[in-house]
């Protein structure tokens, strides 16, 4: 019962470095999401993929790119990390997008 698996759990980057956060789900969900969580800000949507082959911007997409590699996997890429991207990142998936959102355990990213 893996659910949603995110890797890595922790990462420290230097300003300007790039990295990819990986997310995989084994629940045959259609929709997948990337959120960031900052203190006092709740979770804010970065990008989402309503179904395999589609991706759309959320509330805070600047500085990020995504790839829906297949139905299971949805990756988030930071091309040139900035200190403002220091945050906790959560991946989530949902069968229909209306109910049953399942979250991964999060990636704590620090950009110095």
Partner 1 sequence: EDKVVQSPLSLVVHEGDTVTLNCSYEVTNFRSLLWYKQEKKAPTFLFMLTSSGIEKKSGRLSSILDKKELFSILNITATQTGDSAIYLCAVVTSSGSARQLTFGSGTQLTVLP
Contact residues toward partner 1 (CB under 8 A) are 4, 31, 33, 35, 40-45, 48, 50, 56, 58-59, 90, 92, 94, 96-106
Phi/psi at 91 (5° precision): -100, 145
Q: Which is nearer to partner 1, 56 or 79 (CB)?
A: 56
Name the minimum Å distance from CB 84 to partner 1.
18
Q: Which is nearer to partner 1, 38 or 79 (CB)?
A: 38
Q: Which is nearer to partner 1, 16 or 100 (CB)?
A: 100
42 three-class SS = coil
Name the minimum Å distance from CB 90 to partner 1.
6
Phi/psi at 77 (5° precision): -115, 135
3-state helix, strand, coil in the chain (%, to 5): 5, 50, 45
Name the minimum Å distance from CB 15 to partner 1.
27
Q: Which is nearer to partner 1, 17 or 27 (CB)?
A: 27
Q: Among 21, 37, 9, 39, which residue's Cα sits nearest to residue 81?
A: 21
């Amino acid at each position: 019962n893996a659910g949603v698996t995110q890797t890595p759990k922790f990462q420290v980057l230097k300003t300007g470095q790039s990295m990819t956060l990986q997310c995989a789900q084994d629940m045959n969900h259609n929709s997948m999401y990337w959120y960031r969580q900052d203190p006092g800000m709740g979770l804010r949507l970065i990008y989402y993929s309503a179904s395999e082959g589609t991706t759309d911007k959320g509330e805070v997409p600047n500085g990020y790119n995504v790839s829906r590699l297949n139905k299971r996997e949805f990756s988030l890429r930071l091309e040139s990390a900035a200190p403002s991207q220091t945050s906790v990142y959560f991946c989530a998936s949902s069968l229909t997008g209306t109910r049953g959102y399942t979250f991964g355990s999060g990636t704590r990213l620090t950009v110095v």
